[in-house]
Amino acid sequence: MVDDILAQITENLLKGETESVVTLTGQALTAGIEPLMIINQGLLPGMEIAGEKFSRGEFFLPHLLIAAKGMQEAMALLEPELSLRQETPEVLGTVVIGTVHGDIHEIGKSLVGTLLSVKGFQVHDLGVDVPGERFVEKVKETGADILGLSALLTTTMIGQREVIEALVEAGLRDRVKVLVGGAPVSQSWAEEIGADGYAEDATGAVQVAQDLLEGKS
Ligand code: B12
């Protein structure tokens, strides 16, 4: 039953049946399936397959857009549920997050932001295609502990390095921990550009953010 409903979410996401994705997500919640399980085993496999089909030329841009719409509308239903499960009432730290300049991929960055706020971080989400100076301004304004930089394209990853350089120039590099992520990003890239942390997914991002604040990494 659980596997069935999650498989149907994946299938409908790929078929571009946004309404069904939302209905099934609601049904999954009613059936008592945890929101994170719906995300990780229902929605994300759909996005993954959509990307693979795009690489093979079986899907085109409109397919990706409609799959993204399905994921985002389902997330609108899941986010309040995730907030209800917020684990710590006190603020663990302040995070500024966004997708770097030239890159409009939104979903992964938003998921990382959502899970960080569920865990107790105060999150300022700057959105997508964010110029370096905007990150710097917001870090200064909020006194952020952590800056999260997302990049989904091999051509925009370089933007992460540019933001780090801009922080150095503004004299803020020592005041904020930089956490990088996104599909083409890796631990070695993080090290190469002088970031403080890297995580492969949103759950990992929460762990690394906590470790960074506790000074473990
Ligand atoms: C949906 C999608 C789109 C949508 C985005 C809609 C939206 N509102 O976000 C649209 C249609 C707009 C789009 C456009 C393009 N896309 Co696109 N897209 C995708 C797709 C299918 C899914 C991305 C996604 O949302 N995944 C789900 C989320 C949850 O996963 P995620 O983003 O990877 O995030 C997770 C981790 O990476 C990590 N993470 C992410 N950010 C951060 C940040 C931090 C701080 C941390 C710690 C972790 C972290 O945690 C997240 C949660 O687990 C991917 C394929 C893929 N498998 O990635 C291609 C993909 C990223 N796109 C690709 C391409 C080529 C493009 C276009 C250039 C296509 C074109 N010809 O125009 C444009 C670029 C537009 C631009 N300037 O940005 C390529 C990139 C290839 C490359 N290596 O550079 C991919 C890989 C598809 C492919 N296989 O070819 N895309």
Q: What is the pLDDT of residues 116-147, one digit of tens each?
A: 998 899 999 999 999 999 999 999 999 999 99
d(CA 165, CA 45): 35
Is the CB of 109 within 6 Å of ligand 1?
A: yes
Give start and end residues of each alpha helix (H) in the chain. 2-15, 18-30, 35-38, 44-55, 61-84, 107-119, 132-142, 158-169, 187-193, 202-213
* Contact in structure between 145 and 179 (CB atoms under 8 Å): no
Domain range list for the chain = 2-84, 93-213
* Contact in structure between 91 and 122 (CB atoms under 8 Å): yes
List, for residues 178-195, the tens digit of each pLDDT value.
999 999 999 999 999 999
List, for residues 10-58, the tens digit of each pLDDT value.
999 999 999 999 999 999 999 999 999 999 999 999 999 999 999 999 9
- Quote the pLDDT of residue 22: 98
pTM score, whole prediction:
0.95
Strands 177-181 and 197-198: parallel
The residue with tokens 């304004």 is: 141
**pLDDT tier, 174 (very low <50, low <70, confident <90, very high otherwise):** very high
**pLDDT tier, 5 (very low <50, low <70, confident <90, very high otherwise):** very high
d(CA 66, CA 100): 22
d(CA 169, CA 164): 9
- Quote the pLDDT of residue 122: 95
User: Which protein residue's CA is at the shortest distance from atom 34 of ligand 1?
Assistant: 108
Q: State yes or no: pLDDT of 64 exceeds 70.
A: yes
Tell me which architecture the domain covering 2-84 has in CATH.
Orthogonal Bundle (1.10)
**Which of 18, 24, 23 lies closest to 2 in space, CA to CA?**
24
Candidates 54, 128, 152: which one to mutate for ligand 1, based on the most atoms within 8 Å of Cβ? Answer: 152
The domain covering 93-213 belongs, at the CATH homologous superfamily level, to Cobalamin-binding domain (3.40.50.280)
User: Which protein residue's CA is at the shortest distance from atom 70 of ligand 1?
Assistant: 61
State the distance from the centre of ligand 1 to the C-alpha of 118, rounded, in angstroms: 23
* Contact in structure between 14 and 50 (CB atoms under 8 Å): yes
Q: What is the DSSP letter of 63?
A: H
